[in-house]
Structure 1
Amino acid sequence: MASPILPGSGLGSGLDIGSIVTALVNSDKAAQQSQITKQTSITTAKISATGALKSVLAAFQTAMDGLNKADAPAFSGFAATSGTPATLTVTSDNTAVNGSYNVVVNNLASSSKIASAAFAGGASSAIPTGTLTVSQNGINYAVNIPSGATLQSTRDAINSTLQGKGITANIVTDANGSRLVVGSTVTGAGSDISLSGIAGLAVDGTTKMDGTATGAGYISALAADASFSVDGLAVTSKSNTVSPVGGISMNLLAGGGASSVVTVGTNTTGLQSSLQAFVDAYNKVITTLTAYTTPSLDADGKPTVSKAMTGDSLPRNLISAVRNELVNVPSGSGGNGQLAVLAQLGIQTDQKAGTLSIDSTKFAAAMAGGMSGQVQSLFSGSTGLISRMSAAIAPYSQTGGILDQRTSTLSNTQRDLTNQQSALDLRVSNLTASLTAKYNAMDLLVGQMKATASNITSFFTTLNAQKSG
């Protein structure tokens, strides 16, 4: 929008109308504009700080979730290692004890895979209507084969119906034609698959396929159990994931007499690494809160510039909530030398910054004192530190929680300030136009009066000249 203020001096009055109007308008809007600008800056900073705080809490929760995985215990007091990872991998929990075990894997557990007779017409071969029964481990699964079905649509029907049962079908074409091949993720002797109910698709899963066009049966071998030994003691299992030794889980990867020595020892390095991961994630929360609450200091150490959340009760309450859990001792814990608080592991708090750090010497002493097996219970479980810490931050970080509500309120304030700015801009525009019109009218009137005065003066000058003559 073009400015209604005319540049330069008034032709009649000689006054700088533009400067006068600008000065008057600026004087009128200054107080309100200053307030809007200040509040907009504060609100924008608070929105940014609230978003940063929610982000760091989400990262903290993700880190805690990672440390609290049931299938990968981060705080296990003992660590099991496999001397030959290509033969088997191993994990342990807090019930494991120090020791070593020689494991020899004779053969792996295998699953069933069967093939139907060959269809010369390929994947588009017609399949009779009816119910195909897929049997495994004494359980029969019914698959409906509708009118007009083909070998391909039959495959798709099996996959759709038995999704989640570990049974899948595909089509394999050999020299004799296309065959329906059905396999399973279920391993172990007796888990062989068989098909019945549809002409041309019947398969006895205990009969080996002979390779002819009409031949059907299992491919390669029947489903089998894993066979292995631990220190010479023979063990069989329907699965390749086995737990023959208390507190130790092994995943068998290679058979044929492959061997590996499994060793279990105190998980000192792993525990310290997991504790450091927790400490780092916690410290990130504290340093973020500090950055948005602690004002800048001058050379004398006196507060000068406030931060976005300086004096705000929200971060104070959050800090109090998370710090309380660090020293909270669950009921029934801490007696008879039991591990109950982080300080017993050498984790200490910086009294000024509020951050955590690990004293390596004290940590080593705790491990030597037999506390390694108790770290898992300190952090995990319904009363563990991770569960309690998650509950402490949930009211702030969850969807619709305190931080989301704060963001919503601030966004409303920001929209209101935007509306106030628009209203002020409109008022300034109207006032500028009004004052400019008035000063221009005044300038015109002054010009007219000057012209009249000039005429009168000229008249009397002429009259005096005539009298003198």
Structure 2
Amino acid sequence: MAGISSPGVGSGLNVQEIVSQMMSLERRPLQLLQAKASGIDTKISSFGQIKSAMSALHEAARNLTSVDTWRSKQITTGDKTAVTGAATSTAAAANFSLEVQSLARGQSLASGTFASGATMGAAGQITLQKGRWDASGTGFTAGSSSPVTLSISATDTLSDVAAKITQSGSGITAVVVKGAQGDQLLVRGNETGTENGFSMSASGGGALSGLAYDQNGQTMTRTAAAANAEFTIDGLAVTSATNTAQDVVPGVTLNLLKTTTAPVEVSVGTDKDALKDKVKAFQEAFNKLNSLLGSLSAYDAGKESGEQAPLLGESVVRSLQNTLRGMVQQTLGDGSSLTSIGLEMKLDGGMRNPSLMLDTKKLDAALSDPVKLENLLAGDGATEGLISRVRDFAFAANSVDGDLSTRTKGLESTKKSNQSAIEAMDTRLQQRQANMLKQYQALDAKMAGMSSLGSFISAQVGQWNKG
């Protein structure tokens, strides 16, 4: 609304002050409407917080009841320094012993010593070919990949040769090691397994003649032969080209870390750690929503009425809270409940509102029978599980026609009507102020005129009296 800017003239009447005071009374209904708008905005925001927390509860309940959660598998081993692993949901529960005789490795070559910084002395080529060496290390069978040929110049140093090998894209890398006797070229295959050995041919003479390892000549030393991992599962011999053995046991990946001197027990079963984490996530999501519902609707006799919780008196909030608390205290037909697995509504540290507490010892005991636990929480196909009920309730509450959405829409409609009333009243008050200002300005002008006339008459009367 525009401010008042016209002072009185002539009469001394303070038009601005008079109109301002009268308009402050006239604006009171507008201020009430504006306060109501602020309250509606606060309620809409509060319901938004509840919807967000309800969505988080639905997600936590959905995760806890999904088939993937209950079919997820976990591998435990008797020696995590020797073998670890992972399993897919298709893996069957199993127990077996594993012994690692040797780990998979890649081929490595070492050259003789060269003077530091010495060049090749002659131009030529190095050809790298991946493949398989026989047991004696003299017969080589080329693999399916094409050979890689590198051009070497006479001025290339050993470091230049190493760089060209590493950058060749052949899957073979090289490095120069500076020792007490001189420089040595170390060449290594990046992949493990007997099929990933390699030959290294050199042509052109000069120092290149000392960089060969193929069937025609071996001026380099093989420091490690490419080899498969060799291990046994319950006495059955198995090999793997890498130290990550996949699907030797269907659905299971074994990470071989070192050789063993005794069998290592391996167990494939329900992923109890993941289940425990999801139960805790559900507990946290429930308590966050439960606490939010309580704090947003709580009555505090010690506060002024204008400072009370924004959703005090909102029946939908109390209804949601009571329903949710009741749902986590329900039982199935056989009498089983969430209390039996350690989830129970209790007062927490003197708090007025109870929270969903978790007894981890009870939960650990319940995890020893995953099928029974799944039936309780997710259902068995014939009977809906207790957490499934919470999941469905949370979804319905947040749906387009759910209690939260319906109440929010009602508030938004009220806000719209209130805003229309504010705009209409503001328009009326602006017109009222303009009219009032004109009236008092006219009064001010009349009073100024009367004051001037009075002064004239007084002056005339004074003159008459002198005469």
TM bracket, shorter-chain basis: 0.5 to 0.7
Indicate conservation of the 8 Å contact 1:90/1:249, yes or no. Answer: yes
Indicate conservation of the 8 Å contact 1:84/1:260, yes or no. Answer: no
Change (3 A) 1:249 1:329: farther
Change (3 A) 1:278 1:85: farther
Indicate conservation of the 8 Å contact 2:53/2:288, yes or no. Answer: yes
1:298 aligned counterpart, secondary structure: coil
| 1:17 corresponds to 2:20 | no
Structure 1 residue corresponding to 2:47, chosen from 50, 60, 67: 50
| 1:326 corresponds to 2:324 | no
Shift, 1:394, TM fit: 0.4
Shift, 1:55, TM fit: 1.7
Shift, 1:386, TM fit: 3.6
Structure 1 residue corresponding to 2:84, chosen from 79, 82, 88: 88
Tell me what 2:372 maps to. 374
- Give the 5 Å matches for 1:396-415: 396-398=397-399, 401-415=402-416
Alpha-carbon distance between aligned partners in 1 of 2:356 and 2:3, rounded to the nearest angstrom:
60
Alpha-carbon distance between aligned partners in 2 of 1:89 and 1:369, rounded to the nearest angstrom:
21
1:83 aligned counterpart, secondary structure: coil
Structure 2 residue corresponding to 1:308, chosen from 301, 310, 325: 310
Alpha-carbon distance between aligned partners in 1 of 2:51 and 2:147, rounded to the nearest angstrom:
61
2:6 aligned counterpart, secondary structure: coil
Indicate conservation of the 8 Å contact 2:82/2:259, yes or no. Answer: no
Q: CA RMSD in A?
A: 5.2
Alpha-carbon distance between aligned partners in 2 of 1:70 and 1:81, rounded to the nearest angstrom:
25
Change (3 A) 1:452 1:64: same
Indicate conservation of the 8 Å contact 1:80/1:263, yes or no. Answer: yes
Indicate conservation of the 8 Å contact 1:67/1:274, yes or no. Answer: yes
Q: Name structure 1 gaps, 5 residues minimum.
A: 120-173, 182-205, 213-223
1:464 aligned counterpart, secondary structure: helix
Structure 1 residue corresponding to 2:97, chosen from 94, 101, 118: 101
2:76 aligned counterpart, secondary structure: strand
| 1:297 corresponds to 2:301 | yes
| 1:6 corresponds to 2:10 | no
Shift, 1:104, TM fit: 3.8
Alpha-carbon distance between aligned partners in 1 of 2:367 and 2:411, rounded to the nearest angstrom:
52
| 1:39 corresponds to 2:40 | no
Indicate conservation of the 8 Å contact 2:344/2:358, yes or no. Answer: yes
Shift, 1:236, TM fit: 8.2
Structure 2 residue corresponding to 1:342, chosen from 338, 342, 348: 338
Shift, 1:79, TM fit: 7.0
Change (3 A) 1:57 1:21: same
| 1:424 corresponds to 2:425 | yes
Shift, 1:268, TM fit: 8.1
1:3 aligned counterpart, secondary structure: coil
Q: Which amino acid aligns with 1:88?
A: T
| 1:353 corresponds to 2:343 | no
Alpha-carbon distance between aligned partners in 2 of 1:31 and 1:303, rounded to the nearest angstrom:
19
Change (3 A) 1:228 1:312: farther
- Give the 5 Å matches for 1:115-264: 115=145, 228-234=231-237, 240-242=245-247, 244=249, 249-252=252-255, 261-264=264-267
Q: Name structure 2 gaps, 5 residues minimum.
A: 105-142, 150-163, 172-194, 202-227
Indicate conservation of the 8 Å contact 2:345/2:356, yes or no. Answer: yes
For each residue in 1:378-437, what CA deviation from the matched residue of structure 2 results, as whole angstroms up to 9, or x when unmatched? 233563344332211002234675434444443443344344333333332222221111
Shift, 1:367, TM fit: 1.9
Normalising by structure 2, report the TM-score.
0.60
Shift, 1:251, TM fit: 3.7
Alpha-carbon distance between aligned partners in 2 of 1:385 and 1:448, rounded to the nearest angstrom:
88
**Which 10-residue stretch deviates more, 417-426 or 21-30?**
417-426
Tell me what 2:28 maps to. 30
Indicate conservation of the 8 Å contact 2:4/2:20, yes or no. Answer: no
Shift, 1:24, TM fit: 1.6
Normalising by structure 1, report the TM-score.
0.60
- Give the 5 Å matches for 1:438-457: 438-457=439-458
Tell me what 2:122 maps to. none
| 1:282 corresponds to 2:286 | yes
For each residue in 1:189-219, what CA deviation from the matched residue of structure 2 results, as whole angstroms up to 9, or x when unmatched? xxxxxxxxxxxxxxxxx9x99999xxxxxxx
Tell me what 1:135 maps to. none
Shift, 1:325, TM fit: 3.2
Shift, 1:3, TM fit: 2.8
Alpha-carbon distance between aligned partners in 2 of 1:393 and 1:43, rounded to the nearest angstrom:
24
Change (3 A) 1:320 1:101: farther
1:89 aligned counterpart, secondary structure: strand
Change (3 A) 1:51 1:447: same
Change (3 A) 1:86 1:63: farther
Change (3 A) 1:5 1:368: closer
For each residue in 1:49-71, what CA deviation from the matched residue of structure 2 results, as whole angstroms up to 9, or x when unmatched? 11111221232234345545655
Change (3 A) 1:359 1:84: closer
Q: Which amino acid aligns with 2:85?
A: T
Structure 1 residue corresponding to 2:58, chosen from 56, 61, 67: 61
Q: Which amino acid aligns with 1:38?
A: A
**Which 10-residue stretch deviates more, 428-437 or 403-412?**
403-412
Change (3 A) 1:266 1:254: closer
Change (3 A) 1:89 1:19: same
**Which 10-residue stretch deviates more, 311-320 or 435-444?**
311-320
1:309 aligned counterpart, secondary structure: coil
Indicate conservation of the 8 Å contact 1:325/1:388, yes or no. Answer: yes
